[in-house]
Chain A
Amino acid sequence: MNELRRLWQLFRPYRVWMLVGTLAAILTLLANVTLIAAAGWFLTAMAAAGAAGVAMNYFTPAALIRGSAMIRTAGRYGERLVNHEATFRLIASLRVWFYQHLEPLAPARLQQYHSGDLLSRIRADIDALDNLYVRVLVPVAVANVSIVLFTIFLLFYHPLLALSGLTFLVLAGVGLPIWSQARGLVPGRRIAEDEAALRTAVIDGVQGLAELTLYGAAERQAQHIDSLSRRLIADQTRLSSDHGLTQAAVGLCASLSLWVLLWIAIPLVDDGRLMPPQLAMLALFTLASFEAVAPLPQAFQMLGRTLAAAHRLFAIVDTEPAVAEPSTPSPRPERFDIEFADVRFSYPDTPRPAVSGIRLQVPQGTRAAVIGATGSGKSTLFNLLLRFWAPDSGSIRVGGHDILDFHGDDLRRHIAVVSQHTHLFDATIRENLLIANPDAPQAAIEAACRVAQIHDFIAELPEGYDTWVGETGVRLSGGQGRRIAVARALLKDAPILLLDEPTEGLDAATERDLMQALDTLMVGRTVLLITHRPAGLDWVDQVLVLDQGRELARGDVSVVPQAMQAALLPLRAEAETR
């Protein structure tokens, strides 16, 4: 229920909309009840007057009927427009709200989430919140006001009539919702989970189809998706059955209310305490009054799904970013030296630190390489320097300022990362490049692509830079996509250059050309390279050799062979004894 209170906070900006929508809904409901009750009274009164041969004023009730028929129709239309407009505005703003909370969590805190699960949150879970507004908040307000008004109205005729009417309205408008809310809690939560699992499985099945097919696992994936689908439908079936039951029960409450009313009112008519037309009027009034509570049971049933959605959204929103943003403005460094001072860091839930005791000074304009086997902690150093994680102890400084004093975006503005592990977006080549610098002129784009050895290829494409690369760049060959990613990084033009195996997977000629081009680009910049290949490092000023997160050697290139030899001995021994 804590979720409800927090959701209410989010809804606050739309209070005026809600008030207008609620008033319109109340007006519509009252007009409808008036219409039906007045029609019953009118017909009976006309018949009674006709039978008795007395005159009656039929213009006033006729005008009342006409008026309420028009208010009902116009009111319902207006009420729906206002409430839905407000809801969808709210929903649209919640997507932005959710994204703004999601964005600071990447990449550190989002590793454990599948993209299908996150997609389900920003799409389906946010959509599920509309139930609370259109189906719960407004109708509950409407029902409260109307139940009071209806009871007062019945009190004018007889206290017993009021008591019976109130009892059945409360039964249908409070009892049934409580029951269906309790029944909907578990399936509602499971539906939220199943929808996310289904999206996850579909994304795995679609984006990984080649491997699934080749390994004969496609059939299993199809069965998995089918079973998720059937589980989801089974839960929905349960909800639907309950929904049918409450729908029937509301109808039954209305009918019973009428039935009890007849038992109470018929003797009153016989006594002359109730006029005959009033009996017809009260009978139809009773049936019509249940429109006030009819939508509530289903709305409360779906509250389970809504609360599960809210819970899933708040789980992300409440996650603290791995690195907190400082409250003070970022420093403006004048120099771009990098310094790692006794840095130690462990990923959560891992026994061994990923890096420890790391010391490295890269003066501005010089080049350093970090070498080590896969898993030796090289990428961790980049993640720390990019402020995706914060060191457990020690510090990292850029231009003499601790990087924790920078806002993440401000720090990363000074850093360009050249790596092929970056994502290509489902857009054109040009749009993918412009992510690095939205204002880059065509000449700069082409220059970056020339350095990355990809301009000639792009120029030969029929649509050139406007070629659509497809999702994750699937329409390009592996090597082409990687070089576009490299070009994008070059377009950023930052004083610090991080190179993450920039030539991995490129053929030798391209690799050589790219390295030569990078060489001119590196002039004047502070460069940090991570690589697992000790060969061809003549162009760096210093080298740090890592082994299992610790410094094995540091110095000029000459320290490498010996250090590598030492580091790999255990591995080699294992390989030989096998």
Chain B
Amino acid sequence: MSVNAWLKSQRPLAGKALLLTVWLNTANGLLAINQAWALAVVLDAVIFKDADLSEVHHWLWGLLALFGTRALIVWLAERSAFQAAASVRATLRDQVHRHLQRLGPTYLSGQRSGALVETLTKGIDDLEGYYARFVPAMTLVMILPLAILTAVMPMDWLAGLVLLFTAPLIPLFMILIGSGAQARNQRQWKQLARMSAHFLDVIQGLTTLKLFGASRREVAVIARISDDYRHSTMQVLRVAFLSSAVLEFFASVGIAIVAVLIGFRLYGLAVPVPAWIPIPEITYLQGLFVLMLAPEFYAPLRNLGTQYHARMGAVAAAEQLIQVLDAEPTRIDPGTEPLAAARPLGVRFEDVHFSYEPGREALQGLNFDIPPGQRIALVGTSGAGKTTVVNLLLGFLVPTGGRILIGEQALAGIDLEDWRRHLAWVPQQPRLFQGSIADNIRLGRPEAEPDAVREAARRARAAEFIDALPLGYDSPVGERGAGLSGGQIQRIALARAFLRDAPLVILDEATANLDPESERLVQEGIDELALDRTLLVIAHRLNTVRRADRILVLDQGRIVEQGTHDELAGTGGLYARMIAAHGPRAHEGEQA
């Protein structure tokens, strides 16, 4: 769908407010014609008919009523124009954000958050120019000039013709000047997105820049990027200013011609047109009325010219929105069946293939079983495909071949939301969200009682350090867990998983960043957790996997061996070699 068609297709979201805006502005324009007439009558009466106040005062009171009514209409029109765009903006922001959520983490990993933030904030706001300004202006340009021509023609068709023939020049030149402007608007958007993405990246990595003494160097980069944005903004504005100057120029010329034609005839000079054209006679009243309407005639056209630029801003923003909305979620037809299997869950991978890009298979026909209630460990060197397996299980990726079974049910057919309700997951680098520690533990069960939160924290061995904080569970935490150590963040994430109480738990390096004692304690917690659940543990350090019922060894996208620790240690395969590489640390778990 073209951007224009898309923008049009969203118009119903504006509701009746858009129509109301047009009606109000039309009414205002019609009243302006009446006002010009009343004013012309008063001036004409006083100037040429020697009228005094008593003869014109009823016209003056009429004018006062017109002024008041028009002021009220202007106010209401502004309100309804804003309202029209407000509904579109609120709805679209929600829609686009929810679509991003459906696209999932895999899609987002290829995007820049700073740019997406701009799309969702300023991009949505820029749509206002289209719905609140351009669309009404577009409709009014077809109504008001015609209404004014209808009023002018009977008075003075000569001036009417001048208006009629100069009017199309304005949109013509507007289009000529604006033809390159769309590209400039797009460039401006790109610069803005780049600037925002860069700023966010720098802000999030400021400490790293300082560690490397690079934070001062960054000043030059910030200056350059800000300046590039200024440059592209000015390029857009220059066109807008130029076209508005041209519009003003043509409107002035049109009004001047009308004024000259009226003035000459009033003075009694010959109008410079061929003699065979019968020039209409004109009175001062008619002349003044027509002259006062001339600027009103051009006003909607000029306004359209101005709003045309607002439209281009909206189009550039809409392109970003469409880019997001057009992206297809990885899972094209989401499953609808509820999860059939009862807890604990069993999982089976049947010949599962996956590739991030054609020709490079990350998983090459994976076959394995995770029997219900068992504890399975997945080990392998970095890049072997462990995280891919997790992402497939979480439903963020879809196998390019083979299938994943949950019990006897294909994962592809299961409603993802229902499936995920049965999962708990602790990622390698857990993220904390804006809010308190309690909020973060409650992430998966917002209604959980404070006691349950405490119990989960205790089991994750997080209770002790949380209680030591001045605000305890109400301590605010930032995105990177400001003020907390890596091990503490890890334990909060674990508490999250404990509180979730899910039948299948996936722990990705859950005990990294912990000192041996905490690790041992957390491990005990995990043992408790494993009692009536299925557990998949991803590990680099092999001491944490010894207690697994079965160990799957992954190498270059294949399961190369599986068995218990003792079985595998004896075979002399990859696992045995990994243990050997582990050296003295392999026994660390036993010592602790």
Q: Whole-angstrom distance between the alpha carbons of A241 and B591 in the complex?
A: 72
Q: Is A573 in the interface zone, CB < 8 Å from B?
A: no
In the complex, chain B residues whose CB is within 8 Å of the CB of A124: 121-122
In the complex, chain B residues whose CB is within 8 Å of the CB of A206: 100, 108, 111, 113, 116-117
Q: Is A211 in the interface zone, CB < 8 Å from B?
A: yes
Whether A230 contacts B90 in the complex (CB less than 8 A), given A122-B199, A206-B116, A248-B75, comes out as yes
Q: Is B558 in the interface zone, CB < 8 Å from A?
A: no
Q: Whole-angstrom distance between the alpha carbons of A558 and B201 in the complex?
A: 44
Question: CB distance A208 to B431 under 8 Å?
Answer: yes
In the complex, chain A residues whose CB is within 8 Å of the CB of B584: 535-536
- Of A5-13, A76-84, A142-150, A305-313, which binds chain B? A76-84
Q: Is B268 in the interface zone, CB < 8 Å from A?
A: yes
Q: Is A158 in the interface zone, CB < 8 Å from B?
A: no
Question: CB distance A218 to B101 under 8 Å?
Answer: yes
Q: Is A435 in the interface zone, CB < 8 Å from B?
A: yes
Q: Whole-angstrom distance between the alpha carbons of A279 and B56 in the complex?
A: 15
Q: Is B287 in the interface zone, CB < 8 Å from A?
A: yes
Q: Is A216 in the interface zone, CB < 8 Å from B?
A: yes
Chain B residue at minimal CB-CB distance from A409: B213
Chain A, range 20-45, C-beta contacts under 8 Å to B: 35, 39, 42-44
In the complex, chain B residues whose CB is within 8 Å of the CB of A73: 245, 248-249, 252
In the complex, chain A residues whose CB is within 8 Å of the CB of B486: 374, 421
Question: CB distance B588 to A252 under 8 Å?
Answer: no
In the complex, chain B residues whose CB is within 8 Å of the CB of A564: 517
Among A222, A255, A256, A388, the residue within 8 A (CB) of B94 is A222
Q: Whole-angstrom distance between the alpha carbons of A518 and B463 in the complex?
A: 37
- Of A181-189, A360-368, A398-406, A422-430, which binds chain B? A422-430
In the complex, chain B residues whose CB is within 8 Å of the CB of A509: 381, 577-578, 581
Main SS of the interface on chain B?
Answer: helix
Whether A214 contacts B429 in the complex (CB less than 8 A), given A119-B114, A423-B208, comes out as no
Number of A residues, CB within 8 Å of B: 167
Question: How extensive is the interface on chain B, given as a class?
Answer: 35 or more
Among B64, B78, B394, B513, the residue within 8 A (CB) of A240 is B78
- Of A92-100, A159-167, A332-340, A520-528, which binds chain B? A92-100
In the complex, chain A residues whose CB is within 8 Å of the CB of B588: 533, 535
Chain B residue at minimal CB-CB distance from A225: B97
What is the distance, in angstroms, from A407's C-beta to the closest C-beta of chain B? 10
In the complex, chain A residues whose CB is within 8 Å of the CB of B585: 508, 533, 535-536
Question: CB distance B465 to A408 under 8 Å?
Answer: no
Whether A58 contacts B267 in the complex (CB less than 8 A), given A88-B234, A199-B121, A240-B79, comes out as yes
Among A93, A114, A479, the residue within 8 A (CB) of B382 is A479
Q: Is B436 in the interface zone, CB < 8 Å from A?
A: no
Q: Is B487 in the interface zone, CB < 8 Å from A?
A: yes
Q: Whole-angstrom distance between the alpha carbons of A81 and B244 in the complex?
A: 12
Q: Whole-angstrom distance between the alpha carbons of A202 and B209 in the complex?
A: 24
In the complex, chain A residues whose CB is within 8 Å of the CB of B98: 222
Q: Is B276 in the interface zone, CB < 8 Å from A?
A: no
What is the distance, in angstroms, from A239's C-beta to the closest C-beta of chain B? 9
Whether A201 contacts B434 in the complex (CB less than 8 A), given A50-B268, A215-B444, A375-B465, comes out as yes
Chain A residue at minimal CB-CB distance from B395: A213
| 5 pairs of A and B residues whose beta carbons are closest in the complex | A244-B78, A479-B382, A532-B515, A423-B205, A374-B487
Given A77-B245, A118-B203, A349-B470, output 15 extra A-B contacts at Cβ < 8 Å.
A46-B264, A116-B117, A116-B200, A202-B113, A203-B117, A222-B97, A222-B101, A226-B93, A279-B43, A374-B488, A412-B213, A422-B207, A423-B208, A471-B197, A532-B515
